[in-house]
Amino acid sequence: MKLYTAAAACLCLLCACATSHPDHFYILTAQPANGSATRTSPTVQATLKVSLPSLVDRAEIVLNTSADSISVLEHERWGAPLIDLVSQTFARDIERRRSDVLVGGIGGSSTNGATIKMTIDIVQVWMRRNEPARIEVHWRIQGPQAGKESSGAEAFSAPLGQDGYNAVAQAWSECVALLADRLAERIPHGE
């Protein structure tokens, strides 16, 4: 009888461990600019290359728990690779701020051969509950003509609200929008 009781207890434990938690998926959203410019025919073509730290470039949302530890949230996931979400959101943010700019990926074609190249390296990410979200970025914009280049290193932060893990996606979106605000000013205008 004790053998059956022990076997039943083990079976109950295995079933409890096998219960599945539902996965939740999140995306980033382009943030509106302070004014909504009517979209014109683009006169500036730009390509974009973005890199992320491998620590956060994963399917799961990553939160900082202290200065030297993180929590990888197994059931709170990005709806697409985070690098793709950041790249697409940044491109749409730039296009919302500059109606004359069309942003494509690396190797994008240009009808006149004059293409602006933007490189964004997100080197540090800090996402911790009850603290502002923060990204540190190195960026470079190369004009189509030699010598037309600008670069910089900056940090952008946004509040990390209390709205569950949606707040993490919103904070990411806001940080990317702040970066777009800064770089939209630096993209050369078409000839």
The CATH number given to whatever domain includes residue 132 is 3.40.50.10610
State the residue range of the domain holding 29.
25-184
Beta-sheet strand order (sheet of 149-158):
101-104, 44-51, 115-126, 133-142, 149-158
Residue 11 domain-assigned?
A: no
> Cα(103)–Cα(94) distance, rounded to whole angstroms?
8
Does some domain include residue 47? yes
**Least confident range of 11-15, 38-42, 178-182:** 11-15
Residue 73 lies in a domain: yes
Q: Is 92 helix (H, G, I), strand (E, B) or coil?
A: helix
Q: How far is CA 82 from its chain centroid?
A: 6
Q: Which pLDDT score is estimated for 188?
A: 87
What is the pLDDT at residue 35? 47
Question: What pLDDT shows up at residue 32?
Answer: 79
Long-range contacts of 146-149 (CB under 8 A, 24+ apart): 148/188
pLDDT digits (tens, 9 = 90+) for 138-168: 999 998 876 789 999 999 999 998 778 999 9
165 secondary structure, DSSP code = T
Task: Kindly state whether residue 67 falls inside one of the protein's structural domains.
Answer: yes
Is residue 10, in this structure, part of any structural domain at all? no
- The whole-number average pLDDT for the span 112-122 is 85
CA nearest 89: which of 174, 164, 154? 174
Average pLDDT in the 74-89 region? 96
Q: 148 in a domain, yes or no?
A: yes
Output the six-digit token pair for 50.
């973005």
Tokens 């410019």 sit at which residue?
A: 37
Strands 115-126 and 133-142, how do they pair?
A: antiparallel
pLDDT averaged over every residue in the chain: 85
| 2 part of a folded domain | no
Q: Is residue 9 part of a domain?
A: no
Q: Please give the tally of structural domains in the chain.
A: 1
Closest CA to 175 of 153, 164, 160: 160
CA-to-CA dists, residue 38 to 35, 97, 116, angstroms:
10, 10, 22
> Pick from 99, 98, 145, 93: which is nearest to 120 by CA?
93
